[in-house]
Amino acid sequence: MTTSTSGADHGTSTFDPSIGARGRQGMAVMLVSGASNQVGAATGALAFPVIGPLGVVAVRQWVAGLLLLAVGRPRLRAFTWAQWWPVLSMAVVFGAMNLTLYSAIDRIGLGLAVTLEFLGPLAVALISSRRWRDLACALAAAGAVAVLMRPQASTDHWGIALALVAASCWAAYILLNRTVGRRFTGIEGSAASAGISAVLFAPVGVLVLVAHPPTPAALVCAVAAGVLCSVIPFLGDLFALRRVPARFFGLFMSVHPVMAALAGLLVLGQTPHWVDWAAILTIVSANAISAAALGRRSGRTRSI
C-alpha cells in the first residue's frame, strides 16, 4: 500500500488526450511507483519465514519513518492540538493497515489481499453517492468479494478477515489524510505520522527481531519493502499529481490489484484461479468507474 499525498485536489478534472511531455513523465512515474509498491510487498513477503509479517512491517515502518521525516522535516513543537489529533490517529491507522495487510498476504496471497484492501477506497468513494451507477459498482464489487470468499478446501477465513480490516483501515486513512492535508502545508503532517508510527512499532519490533534474528537476506527484503512500498510511491505520487489530472491518477490507482496479482505470480509464485482473476478485474472495474464518475462530478462542482 502506498502512502497517500495531501487531501488537496491536484490537477485538472478532465483528462486531455494531448497531455504533453509533463503528463507522459507523470504517467511513467505512476507506472514505476505502482510496480514499486507491489514488488516491494512481494519482496517483503520473502522475509516472512524468518521474521514473520510483524517483523517485516516493523522494519518497513522504521525505514519509511526515518526517510519521510528527513524529507518532510516536520516542526513538531509548532503543531496545535487540531493538527496533532489527526496526525496521531493516522499514525495508528497507518501501522494497523500495514500490519493487517501483511498478515493477510502471509495467509491468502498478495493479489487477493490487495484486492480486498481496495474495498476501502471504493467504499469511501461510494458511501456518499446516490447514483444508480455507483450502486451498480457497489453491487458488482460485493459480488466479486463473495466470489473471492467462496468456500474452498484452502479458504483461509482469518486471512480474508485481516484483509477486510486492512480495507477499513485504508478507508479511515483516506479520511484522516484529507484532514491532515487541510491542516498542513506540504508533507509535514504525513511525515510526522510516518515517524510516530515507526516509534510505535519500536518495542514490539525489537522483541520480534531478538526472538527471531533476521538473516542478512531477510533484513534486506524488509528494508527493500520500506523503500519500495512507502518512500518511492510517496514521492512518486507527489511528482505525478503535479503532472497528470487527479481523475486520471484515481483511475490508475484502480489497477493496483492486478499489479499485485502479477507481482505475487512473478515474485512469490502465487497463481490465482481464473475465477479469482475475474473477481479481481471486476473490483478493478468498479474502482475505475467510481473514480471516473467522481472526477467528472468534482470537475462540474469546481466549474459552478
Find, among 80, 79, 76, 121, the residue nearest to 97 by Cα: 121
Domains of the chain, residue spans: 20-299
Find, among 8, 1, 5, 14, the residue nearest to 247 by Cα: 14
Whole-prediction pTM: 0.75
> Are the C-beta atoms of 68 and 234 separated by less than 8 Å?
yes
Specify the pLDDT at position 150.
65
Quick: pLDDT tens for 144-189. 777 766 666 556 889 989 999 999 998 888 788 778 878 887 788 8
Find, among 59, 53, 256, the residue nearest to 158 by Cα: 53
The grid cell for 204 is: 514490539
The grid cell for 227 is: 523503500
Specify the pLDDT at position 182.
83
The grid cell for 283 is: 473490483
Find, among 264, 277, 270, 276, the residue nearest to 39 by Cα: 264
Q: Which residues of the chain have pLDDT under 50?
A: 2-18, 298-304
Specify the pLDDT at position 281.
80
> Are the C-beta atoms of 41 and 263 separated by less than 8 Å?
yes
> Are the C-beta atoms of 37 and 1 separated by less than 8 Å?
yes
Specify the pLDDT at position 11.
38
Specify the pLDDT at position 278.
83
Using CA atoms, how far apart are residues 83 and 230, in angstroms rounded to an integer? 22
Specify the pLDDT at position 304.
36
